[in-house]
Amino acid sequence: MTTPLHERQGARALLADRAERARSGSGSLVLLQGATGTGRTAVLEGAVREAEGLGMRVLSARCSPEDTGVPFATVLQLLGPVPDFIDLVPDHVDRGNAARLWRLLRSYAAEGPLLMAVDDVHLADSASRRWLREAVRHIDRLPVLLVAGERSQYDIGPRRSGLARSLSPSLVHTHTIDPLGDAAAAELVRTALPTAGPEGTAEVVRAGAGNPLLLHALLHDLGGAPEAIPLLPDTCAALYPGSYPAAVSWWLESAGAATAEVARCLAALEEAWPRPAPPGHRPSRADGSATEAVAASGPPADPDPATGATGAPAGPFAAGVPAGPSEARIPTGPGVAGVLAEAVGADPARVTGWLTAMTRIGLLRPDPAGLPRFAHRLLRDAVLSGWPTTRREAAHLVAARTMLRRGERVETVAAHLLRTPGDGLPWALRVLRDAATVAVHDARPRDAAGYLRRALDEPLSDDHRQRLLTELGSLEYASDDGTVAIARLAEAQYLPAAPRDRVRAAVALGTALVGRGEVTTALEVMRRTEDGLDGHPGLARTVQTVTALLSDADLASRQETYRRLSASGEDAPELVGTASRALLVRYEATAGLISAAEAMTRVRALLAQPCDPLAEPFLLGTAAAVAEWADELDEAERLVDRGLVGQYPALLHPMEDALLNTRADIAAARGDVARLIAVRGDGAAVAARAHGGPSNRDAQVLMALVHTGRPEEARRLAEAFDLSRAPESWELNRFLYARGVQRLAAGDPAGALHDFLECGRRQSAREVFSPVVTPWRTAVAQCRLAFGGDQEALALAAEELRLARVWNTPRTVGRALRVLGTATGGRRGLELAEEAVGTLRDAPADAGMELVEALLAQGRQLLAAGERARARDRLREAADLAERKGGLRLLALAEQALREGGARVPTAARTGSAALTDSERRIAELAAAGRTNTEIADLLHLARRTVETHLTSTYRKLGIRSRAELPATLARTRTRR
């Protein structure tokens, strides 16, 4: 080796000192120990060159496994050809042979100082090892320096006794050659690959694992690579000529068969381990082991016999994982070592020692969870090179079986089953199903689908396969793999199954088809399913309900479906299920045919009737939407919660999305903009679903961004969707309305008018006339007023008031009165504005932003009428309420109107403790003291919702997120004062 030696100064200094002593007649043994590949041979070769430079005679030998059976093979190689030893005598006369060899060594020493260099002395034959030990006992009086390189590495099979065994420590000078540090390794990489860059250099250093043998081999392979190496490949197949995998293979062979098996088994098992969690990662909500019962609900009937236990995803072998990454240690006991030992049939204690030793020399690096991983993925691949697939699968199967027996978490077990073929093991299917359940409840549909795909490889009956395909297709659809999902669900449709399972599959397939814009095909699936349900009237009625709900995505189908449903309800009501009758209530409410009171009376009566479990989500979801429109927000929220609890997350169901939409509508009705904005997702999430068109939640988030004074964020969200390509849906209409709100706030009344009119056209085509869903008429009226179209604005506002009085809830009536008052003007306009404020004040639910807008409109009209004192009172009230609600846009408008009215608007802090009102501070102090919202409401004689609103405003002003942060934050503010 001609390359410079790094971090070997200690070895060189020791050898130089011992060489000088040998030249003066005082010999000794220098034993160079180290793991395979750490550079013992390079140091030994350096010692030879130094000795030759000093004029010492050099005798050298290199031991090999082939010579271990030949007595004195190493000594004969060391001392050169010895004629007397051409025909060696048997071992029992070794003493005579040893004496003759000793005399030969003394004769060499008499001629001048000697350096005897023996490489890989651990491979020397027994006779040579005994001779060398005996020689060491006498060379202290001779000018002889013996330098031996000995492999000193912890292996699974205990190694032979070392050369220094039974020798006095005074005769032996041992030096351990440690692995290279990262700095020295990086210097080597920069010398060989000067343009690799910091990231590429770090990659190569990790793959070299501090082992000069591996590092030089890798640099040799990379010598013909492009000048810049940003990242190493994942597989050794990309390396040429393959020196690196060859070096790793030699390293394994040197360690012995048992160690090689453990190393390869560890590399295989590591493929199934989760990637280390990024900083700030929160653990799974679910928690449990493979022997615990499933806590999450499954389908409402016909429980699957394969489902029964669940657990949380976590790093494997949790029993031995340290509490935190700051002291990452190798798990012991029943952890990694135990599984590896069982997989290869080794002693667990030896495996534990090997893991510790390999970590010490850098081949393994514990991750933040304490799991031993190979230093680099390329090193792991090299270790696995040439290991048969069947052997890898066997290792994973043993690992899965062992961890299941020890109660490891179910996804840990399933991760290994994913890498085994389906062998029909009685427990494998249960584990895979349980793992899918955990992943579903942890909102990881892609992982859950992977478990179920593997479960399909197990022997299954037709009905069991049908249920699996239905779940798998649902999960694949949730993972944005719609084409594959529909194929799975279609296959489930044609397998023999119980009627209830056929209906579940049809619901999932119909939902997926509608989501892909294939409404006609979806309705045909539902009709075909209904035709096959003779003798099951309850299920047929459920399919009828699903058909009506899915028809919402197509205008012609919707009209035909609801006409047929209405006719059946009049002529043969017994043929219309409870959930379908609820849909008729919803239809009549949006068509402006019934009042909120009548709608709620009918809905509550339907909720009190028995309902098939499969139809119940449709009843609850529909009732929740009607209750929200009727301003029965608490009741609506209870219905949403009931409906979501009844959802089986692994099955695609149209009401899950509907329930989440209603939850967003409830938050918007309460003015809870913080909750709305929190669920919007990041830009990547919005972009991922942009091709399918906007959702109702996108619409509510867009309006929340406008209300909270975030115009740039609102603009980006509005522009994220190409509405010209979005499929027809009521959600598209809602987003058009929201985009109109955004454009109007951004000073584009023409663009806003276009959106509001298009929304109105589409809603009217769907026979949705009531302003309870989208009050597009008042929105158009406001735009017309901006362009001077007072008469048209007046007509639109009057029509909306008429429809609002049919529904007759304070929110809809108050909004219509507000806009009509502005359009009317004069004394009559003031009366309408006063009525609007009074109507919204008396609302049974929190009128939120609607009341702010009514106060603002009344204040402006009073200013125009010259009633400045009353105007200022209304505008100050509007500003205070807008601030508490986080409505910064309306707050700014109210303050602007106050200035126009000649009022002084104090420049108050909008954030920080100084921004808290007296009520907010009082409520915050009670909350910090541990009082619940209900207790605070009772103490201060307030509604619980008012307490929640004040706390939400307090959190925003103080820049905190939870009640737990209140005590410390308030304490800091008191200290500053």
Lowest-pLDDT range of 65-79, 295-309, 580-594 = 295-309
Residue 196 binned pLDDT confidence (cut-offs 50, 70, 90): confident
| Whole-number pLDDT of residue 60 | 95
Q: How far apart are the first and last CA of the chain?
A: 73
472 alpha carbon, distance to own chain's centre: 20
Section 532-561 average pLDDT: 90
| Whole-number pLDDT of residue 426 | 87
| Whole-number pLDDT of residue 929 | 85
Peptide bond just before 241 cis, omega within 30 deg:
yes
In whole angstroms, give the CA distance from residue 955 to residue 286. 28
Asked if residue 126 lies in contact with residue 90, where contact means CB atoms within 8 angstroms, the answer is no
User: In sequence order, what are the beta bridge partners of 144?
Assistant: 114
In whole angstroms, give the CA distance from residue 438 to residue 424. 22
In whole angstroms, give the CA distance from residue 389 to residue 402. 20
Of residues 321 and 714, more confidently modeled: 714
* Token pair recorded at residue 97: 């042979």
Q: Tell me: the pLDDT tens digits for 237-271? A: 999 899 999 999 999 999 999 999 999 999 999 99
Residue 334 has pLDDT above 60, yes or no: no
Asked if residue 676 lies in contact with residue 660, where contact means CB atoms within 8 angstroms, the answer is no
Residue 195 binned pLDDT confidence (cut-offs 50, 70, 90): confident
| Whole-number pLDDT of residue 974 | 59
| Whole-number pLDDT of residue 5 | 67
Section 650-658 average pLDDT: 89
| Whole-number pLDDT of residue 314 | 39
In whole angstroms, give the CA distance from residue 973 to residue 744. 39
Section 839-856 average pLDDT: 84
Lowest-pLDDT range of 313-322, 708-717, 739-748 = 313-322
In whole angstroms, give the CA distance from residue 778 to residue 757. 11
Element containing residue 118 per DSSP (H, E): strand 114-119
In whole angstroms, give the CA distance from residue 112 to residue 296. 85
Section 61-89 average pLDDT: 79
Residue 277 has pLDDT above 60, yes or no: no
Q: Give alpha helix (H) positions in 256-324.
A: 257-270
In whole angstroms, give the CA distance from residue 300 to residue 242. 58
Helix-helix angle 810-824:826-841, to 10 degrees: 160
Residue 433 has pLDDT above 70, yes or no: yes
Nearest one of 305, 306, 302 to 539, comparing CA atoms:
302
Asked if residue 547 lies in contact with residue 558, where contact means CB atoms within 8 angstroms, the answer is no
Peptide bond just before 694 cis, omega within 30 deg:
no
Distances (CA, A) of 929 to 883, 926, 935, 942, 947: 25, 5, 11, 18, 15
Cβ contacts of 760 within 8 Å, gap of 6 or more: 774, 776, 777, 780
User: In sequence order, what are the beta bridge partners of 879?
Assistant: none
Element containing residue 61 per DSSP (H, E): strand 57-62
Lowest-pLDDT range of 99-113, 199-213, 308-322, 775-789 = 308-322
Q: Tell me: the pLDDT tens digits for 753-785? A: 999 999 999 999 999 999 998 999 999 999 999
Residue 321: CB atoms within 10 Å: 22
At 418 the three-state DSSP class reads coil
| Whole-number pLDDT of residue 684 | 45
Q: What DSSP letter does each residue of 189-230 carry, written as one string? A: HHHH-TTSHHHHHHHHHHHHTT-HHHHHHHHHHGGGS-S--S
Residue 909 has pLDDT above 80, yes or no: no
Asked if residue 834 lies in contact with residue 825, where contact means CB atoms within 8 angstroms, the answer is no
Residue 227: CB atoms within 10 Å: 9
| Whole-number pLDDT of residue 788 | 83
| Whole-number pLDDT of residue 724 | 84
Q: Tell me: the pLDDT tens digits for 82-92? A: 766 555 544 44
Of residues 626 and 932, more confidently modeled: 626
Tokens 């197509």 correspond to what residue?
A: 554
Distances (CA, A) of 573 to 570, 576, 578, 771: 6, 5, 10, 29
Residue 880 has pLDDT above 50, yes or no: yes
Q: What is the mean pLDDT of the chain?
A: 85
Residue 76 has pLDDT above 70, yes or no: yes
Residue 291 has pLDDT above 50, yes or no: no
Nearest one of 885, 889, 890 to 945, comparing CA atoms:
885
Residue 321 has pLDDT above 80, yes or no: no
Residue 912 binned pLDDT confidence (cut-offs 50, 70, 90): low
Tokens 């000048």 correspond to what residue?
A: 227
